[in-house]
Amino acid sequence: MRNYVPDELKFFSQLLKYSDEDVYGDLKGKAFLVVYIPKQLRYIPFLAKKETTGIKVNRIYVRRNTSVEEANSHEIEEMVKKRVHSTYHDLSSLTLNEHIEQLRCLYGNINKYNNKSYAFTSLAQTFAAQLYTNRKNPHYPAESFDKFIATMIDKKKRRIEGILEVAEQLNFWRN
């Protein structure tokens, strides 16, 4: 099955074989492949990777009672809505307090003041130059740590503002 379905689709399958014993009645001597597909709204709709009997590539199929049919526009629209909702829900599952705690943590990683001591600086540099040489680390990021933390603080602030605006709008509509 892995050749026909996208890699993102998680599923579990089990082959059930019934022996030829009379105990199984109509099931005796038969085999069934049971496939369990858990909800994966974040990745729907899934498209077939390969064509096979009754399934064409890049088509969206849905289960209707006991048959598999091509999805209509309403069903596709519902899938897209579920995907958007699932994705947004995953990204917004933190509470306001958790966002604020993350912001507090970010602030804890940046100094409010840059302290520099100019006394003995040139003397210390002279001694240091005699003891070792500095080589640039090619893997060190171009953006400084402080600049990155400052950028993350700005993003986190905007995120918190967005949450507060959504909460404000919800309260407006409830009144």
**What mean pLDDT comes out for the span 115-125?**
65
| Domain extent listing, the chain | 12-89, 94-112+141-175
pLDDT of residue 159: 83
* 79 φ/ψ angles, rounded to the nearest 5 degrees: -60, -45
Q: Answer whether residue 87 shows pLDDT above 60.
A: yes
> Of 144, 161, 148, 162, which Cα lies nearest the Cα of 106?
148
H/E run at residue 124 = helix 121-131
User: From the centroid of its chain, how far is CA 70?
Assistant: 28
Residue 140 tokens, joined: 């060190």
Residue 119 tokens, joined: 């006394």
Model confidence over 62-76: pLDDT tens digits?
989 888 899 999 999
Confidence of residue 138 (pLDDT cuts 50, 70, 90): confident
Model confidence over 10-37: pLDDT tens digits?
999 999 999 888 777 888 889 999 989 8
Confidence of residue 128 (pLDDT cuts 50, 70, 90): low
Q: Are 10 and 30 in contact (CB under 8 A)?
A: no
> Of 55, 83, 51, 82, which Cα lies nearest the Cα of 67?
55
Q: What's the whole-model pTM score?
A: 0.46
